[in-house]
Structure 1
Amino acid sequence: MDTDSRTPLIMVAGIDPQQVIDVAEALWQQDPQGTALVHHDLRAVAEGVVSRNTRHGEHADVHVLELAHGCVSCTLREDMLPLLRRLAQAPDVRRIVVRLDTALEPETICWALRHVEVDGRPLITDVSVEAVLATVDRATFLADASGDEELVERGVGGSPDDERTVAQVAVGQVEFADALVLAGEDEDRWQRSRLEAVLARLTPAAPRGRLADLDRLLAEIPESARRGEVDGPHGRLLRGQPSLETDAGVSTVLFEERRPFHPQRLHEAIDVLLEGVIRARGRVWVATQPDEALWIESAGSGLAVGQAGPWLAALDDWSDVADERRFRAELTWDDYYGDRAQELVVIAHEADPGEITRALRRAVLTDDELAAGREAWGAYEDPFAEFHRDPCEPAGDRGLDESEMGGNQ
């Protein structure tokens, strides 16, 4: 018997604000008396304010918030999380629907639900993530997901200095979703095939359908869906077992290698992840940093690189290591490298998969460089040696230089 007494929460994200509104409204209409609808509007964030909109039954409330010391992340954490707790504890609230602003990614909000404490405990003790939904415009998604336009250029930046691209947000929203709500029309059958091939690789287990199919989509979310679970940097890269076959010109490249990367050659090779590629993500090790894993993530021409924490081979104590990571490391352990390895997954829609693999292969150490040893490696110039992080914006589980609530990348 299910004894979970937490309040179910559904999160809706998307690049097109009207499409997100349509889905959130449809969810609210299913039970307007028992559903609380929450939205933090960031359109006026450049003027230093955030508008919080809440609707429950016959009551609608609009509250203007001043930015907490100029930080969107802090403002949302300090307002959204306590608000969700109050709603979850209200006896007449049976479900919460969070309509995310275009600039927000559901993964960062879900991380906060699990890790940011309010009154001594995280919000996940009061709410359960029933589903994360993302809207996809069939006519524009491929262009959005492969472009170089910044959010601020489109007028939807999470903060005045938000440097993220539309592609980074659009891809992140879809990749984290449990179900996809499709809108708009394809230009032709070829575009439809390419879009479906991309979506099937970004989130292979997520059911897809139109707004009219909303009930079916929620019912078809598989038991294995993440439902807000955030993978760490050493988690699964092929969640949902996407196809590795090429379909409609869309391919998945899995690059695996034990040898370390030469930092300068890796820096030069990264360009292959930014041209004709929808998504690249994974963990790598460079010869100059044998103890620390790096996380590399790109969408379109937007790139994020950050520290992903130590390799197990550099740790004496594994007591705090997740069982799944420990088990995987034990299965693949190498006497020389330990658990250190290159693991990158690249979804290409226009790039040559072979050229991606060749460029990355050329970046690993040669036989002579490998034989020279760590002392020689330490003398290499390392473009990845320093990372900046705003103290207001904790990078959370992945260790990336990014905001938990939509800040800089």
Structure 2
Amino acid sequence: MEERAPLRVVVATGLHRAARRQAVEALLAAVPRSVAVHHGFEEVGEGVVRRSIRDRWGTHDERPIELVHACASCALREDLVPLLRRLAGQNAYELCVVEGWESVDPRAVSTAVAAEESLALAAVVTAVDTGRLVADLSGHDDLVDRGLDIAQDDDRTVAEVLTRQIEYPSALVVAGDRRPEDAVPLLEQLNPAAAVIPLGPGIADIARGAFDPDAAAARANPAWAQYTPCSGGRVATFTWTRTRPLHPERLHDALAEIVAGCLRGRGRIWLASRPDTLLVWDSHSDLLAIESAGPWLASLPEAAAELVPPARRLSARLDWDPAVGDRRQHLAFTGLDLDTERLTALLDSCLLAPGETWPAFQEDPFDQTLGTQ
């Protein structure tokens, strides 16, 4: 018996519904024997998730789905993956486009699809309305403000969700009636690894590839990502790397000024009060999170260092300094009309000065958010 080929799957996401729908329709039109599956969370507050299945000629199945809990993870586990298995078993389609709900993170969906032997994850694509891009990346709306929250405690922001949808995939589809000149450079700098493509028949090419969720997650992880400066028009990505620790009080006092005017900030920092802890910097507009990502490799015994992810070991080798190991500041800020000289001076002013030390009895303003170490 001839072995059945896996069903190719493209995961299509995007906070901008109209742009995402246009991308899905373009895929259905460009790829023969293709079908799209979508789970709608418009009525999730009433405990209802609606699933639709459609092809290039229209919707041929739409129904409410009963789940243990009406949430994205339950829809993925209890309905989407079993449905994809059934579609693969029917051998009626060459491609299935999984169209995500507006605020769904593509990583969980992609990981689940890639784990199935009967499925072949071809690509993850995010469609973006270029006319709304800058406003949404710089805004302060929470998902709940727009009715896009998909869980009871979903406190994510629009900027955070859109950024993650842009930085993770292998392709970014640009759509919308307005095409600001800053949009494409901004997408290219937020995700240099993605192909930025227009709507049209050429979109079929993304369905012929292969997507590795683990590699994509590793590429986007600020604990070991290597950022490079870049500029295009008004858009610039500024990088700052130093091998001296940061003074906690001076940094804390400067945080609001550092993130002001930046659409995106990411990377890792070294605080003088936490010499063994790698801290991840993750900012979306002026919303900033600083969290522990474990120890610096230089603080670990050699045997323990061999247990960390290979991507982190490689990054540490690239960063290695004979005096401080992999400890360093490595931050990247992306925005419009960035004043890089001001940012450089501000960040440098937060470093410990030569000969300056951090006495244990001084107050660490990060204790409340990171925990005393």
Specify the TM-score bucket, using the shorter chain as the normaliser.
Answer: 0.7 to 0.9
Report the equivalent of 1:323.
310
Change (3 A) 1:319 1:20: same
> Partner of 1:63: helix, strand, or coil?
strand
Q: 1:194 to 1:180 in 2, by over 3 A?
A: same
SS of corresponding position for 2:278: strand
Contact 1:129–1:227 (8 Å) recurs in 2: no
TM-superposed deviation, 1:250: 1.8
Aligned to 2:157: 165
Structure-2 separation of matches of 1:179 and 1:295? 26
Partners of 2:317 and 2:215 lie apart in 1 by 28
Give yes or no for the alignment of 1:96 onto 2:96: yes
- Displacement of 1:126 in angstroms is 4.2
Q: Which amino acid aligns with 1:212?
A: G
Is this contact kept in 1: 2:26–2:203, CA < 8 A? no
* Counterpart position of 2:249: 264
8 Å contact 1:276–1:351 — kept in the other structure?
Answer: yes
Gaps (5+ residues) in structure 1? 115-121, 389-409
Which string of whole-angstrom CA distances, capped at 9 and with x for unpartnered residues, describes residues 149-195 of structure 1? Answer: 222112212334322221112222222232222222337xxxx3222
Which residue pairs with 1:403 in the alignment?
Answer: none
Q: Is the Cα–Cα contact under 8 Å of residues 130 and 227 in structure 1 kept in the other structure? A: no
Matched, 1:185 2:164: no
Distance 2:367 2:86 in 1: 43
Distance 1:56 1:213, change over 3 A: closer
Q: How does 1:273-284 map to 2 (within 5 A)?
A: 273-284=258-269
Q: Does 1:215 align with 2:185?
A: no
CA RMSD, Structure 1 to Structure 2 (Å):
3.4
Q: Does 1:363 pair with 2:350?
A: yes
Task: Give 1:306's aligned residue.
Answer: 291
1:141 aligned to 2:133?
Answer: yes
Judged with a 3 Å threshold, the aligned counterparts in structure 2 of structure 1 residues 67 and 310 are, in CA distance, closer, same or farther, namely farther
**1:62 paired residue number:** 63
In structure 2, runs of 5+ residues without a counterpart are none
What is the alpha-carbon distance in structure 1 between the residues aligned to residue 223 and residue 127 of structure 2?
Answer: 28
Other-structure match for 1:380: 363
Q: TM-score, normalised by structure 2?
A: 0.83
Q: Deviations over 1:216-241 (max 9, x none)?
A: 663898x9998972124434343xx6
CA distance in structure 1 between the aligned counterparts of 2:87 and 2:362, rounded to whole angstroms: 56
Q: Which amino acid letter does the alignment assign opposite residue 291 of structure 1?
A: D
Q: Does 1:234 align with 2:223?
A: yes
Residue 217 of structure 2 aligns to a residue whose secondary structure is coil
AA matched with 1:19: A
**Quick one: which of 167, 171, 185 aligns to 1:197?**
185
CA displacement 1:43-64 (0-9 Å, x = unmatched): 2223333223334798524232
In structure 1, give the amino acid aligned to 2:26: A
SS in 1 for 2:28: helix
Q: Is the 8 A contact 2:67 2:78 kept in 1?
A: no
Contact 2:224 2:316 (8 Å CA) reproduced: no
Q: 1:73 to 1:224 in 2, by over 3 A?
A: closer
Q: Compute the displacement of 1:75 (Å).
A: 4.8
Could you state the TM-score of these two structures normalised by the residue count of structure 1?
Answer: 0.76
Q: What is the identity, as a one-letter code, of the residue corresponding to 2:16?
A: D
Q: C-alpha displacement at 1:92, in angstroms?
A: 3.1
Decide which moves more: 319-328 or 344-353. 319-328
For 2:313 and 2:275, how far apart are their aligned partners in 1? 19
CA distance in 2, matches of 1:89, 1:233: 39
CA distance in 2, matches of 1:257, 1:289: 16
Say whether the 8 Å CA contact 1:110–1:228 is kept in structure 2.
Answer: no
Matched, 1:344 2:331: yes
In the TM superposition, residue 101 of structure 1 has moved relative to its aligned partner by 0.7
Figure out how many residues of one structure are paired with residues of the other and give that number.
Answer: 363
Distance 1:213 1:73, change over 3 A: same
What secondary structure does 1:277 align onto?
coil
Q: Secondary structure at the match of 1:260?
A: coil
Deviates most, 379-388 or 164-173 = 379-388
Checking the alignment, whether the CA contact within 8 Å between 1:164 and 1:302 is kept in structure 2 is: no
Report how far residue 98 of structure 1 moved. 0.9
Bigger mean CA offset, 258-267 vs 164-173: 258-267
Which residue number corresponds to residue 46 of structure 1? Answer: 45
1:321 counterpart SS class: coil
Runs of 4+ in structure 1 displaced over 6 angstroms?
223-228
Determine if the alignment matches structure 1 residue 7 to structure 2 residue 7: yes
* Residue in 2 that maps onto 1:117: none
Report the 3-state secondary structure (helix = DSSP H, G, I; strand = E; otherwise coil) of the residue aligned with 2:66: strand
**Closer, same or farther in 2 for the Cα pair 1:332/1:16, shift >3 Å?**
closer
Local SS of the residue matching 1:149:
coil
Displacement of 1:252: 1.2
Give the Cα–Cα distance (whole angstroms) in 2 for the partners of residues 177 and 141 of structure 1: 16
Q: Distance in 2 between matches of 1:294 and 1:12?
A: 32
Seen in structure 2, the aligned counterparts of structure 1 residues 152 and 277 have a Cα distance that, compared at 3 Å, is same
